[in-house]
Structures are given as C-alpha cells and as structure tokens.
Amino acid sequence: MFRLEKLFLDKEVFPLYLQLYFYNVDYFCMKTDFIQQTHFIGVLVPEDIRATLEDCRRYMNEAYGCKSGYGTPIHVTLVPPFHLPEEFSTKDLAMAIEKEVILAGNELKFDGHIENFDAFGDRTIFAKVIPNENWTKLRDKVIGAVLKAAPGCTKKDKRPFTPHLTVANRDIPSGASVAALQVMNELNLVEDFPVDNVAIFERRGGKWKVAWCGEM
C-alpha cells in the first residue's frame, strides 16, 4: 500500500506544486491563533444612492450568484477591517473619533462625487468615487483617532486613497465584470453626496453592522 509520506518525499513521483500544496495545507492547519477582524470605519451614503446600489447588488446576486457584501450597509471604507483587542471597546473608538474628527465639523466635511461604475478586474465591482485631497485628509484623521484609542490595532496607510462604493467582490465569476459594468453604467450614476458622517462597523454574528455613527 502506498503511503502519502513516501509519495511526498519522492520528487519524481509527486510533482513539486503538489508538495508545496500539502505543505501549505499542513502549515495552515497548525495555525490555531488566527485573529478575526472585528471592526472597520467608513462613511455612509444618502438613502437614494444606497437604494440604487442595493439594486445593483441584487442584480449581481440574481445574474451571477454573488453574495459577498450582502447585509453590509453601502459605504466608503476609510479604515479597512482590523482586530480590536479585548482591552479596548467600540466606545473607545467612538469617543476618539468624536473628539478628533466629528467635532472638527466644517473643517472635514465636503461633497463627494460618484462617476458611474468601475472594477478591479473580476475581484471587485464598485461605484467610482472621485478621489481628492479631502478624502485623504479625512482618512488620515480617522486613522489617527483609531490609533489614539487603540494603539497598534491598525496601521497608517501611505498609499493614495481610492474611495469607492463596493457592489460585489470576491465571488464574481471570471469574465463577468465587463458585462455587468455595461448594464450598471446604463444607469448613468453621476451624483454628488455629502460626506458628513463617520460610522464604526462591528462584526456581529458573522455580519457587519453599524455600531455607531457620528455626524459632522
């Protein structure tokens, strides 16, 4: 009877890519200290835009079976998902954002602009929000507040900020983005919207929920 260990060690019998596959599976199985992401920070959009983008989500679900993102309120992500250690709380984040961002009021709020739809290959389809220095300034202030509340829970991001409103991601079938974008861009979604809030999203029961929202 063949033993897997013998095949694994025989490079002529067991291709290198399969050796690497089983090595990585074994390594992953040994990693029992996986840390789940618990929070992220974003900006909510007005109801009319949210309703349009929810319709686009339903289209992606019905046409292509896409389910990722379902149930998460439409938003522009400012701080991507991170793990908040147990010694800190959502209230700590809210207090810091209130002090550092919300109370700044007119200094940080502005109008965002949506210019139809685009995609990152077949990975993500989104409503395209035009980037500018206001978005970068808001993103940096929010990250600074989060790090003051819970040092080390996330990192400052020096990359150019690309704000967007995700419609579908991760489970888009190969090649589907081009056809889906043709349908969505027929909506001619070109709109301004107020960037006047910061929301804390918290993972609850496997879903992302708005735990707190402050208006500038």
Question: For 29-60, what is each residue's pLDDT tens digit?
Answer: 334 456 899 999 999 999 999 999 999 999 99
pLDDT > 50? residue 128: yes
89 CB neighbour count, 10 Å cutoff: 13
pLDDT > 50? residue 164: yes
What pLDDT was estimated at residue 2?
A: 35
What pLDDT was estimated at residue 1?
A: 36
53-108 tens-digit pLDDT:
999 999 999 999 999 877 899 999 999 999 999 999 999 999 999 999 999 988 99
Q: What is the pTM of this model?
A: 0.83
pLDDT > 80? residue 161: yes
Mean pLDDT over the full length of the chain: 87
> Which region, left, alpha or beta, applies to residue 72 given φ > 0 means left and ψ of -120 to 50 means alpha?
beta
* CATH architecture of the domain with range 39-215: Alpha-Beta Complex (3.90)
Longest dimension (CA), the chain: 75
Domain boundaries, the chain: 1-33, 39-215
Backbone Cα Rg of the chain: 21
What pLDDT was estimated at residue 68?
A: 82
pLDDT tier, 139 (very low <50, low <70, confident <90, very high otherwise): very high
What pLDDT was estimated at residue 203?
A: 96
What's the rounded Cα separation, in Å, for the pair 141 and 150? 14
What pLDDT was estimated at residue 33?
A: 52
Spatial neighbors of 110 by CB under 8 A, at least 6 apart, are: 134, 138, 195
> Helices 90-100 and 133-149: crossing angle, nearest 10°?
130
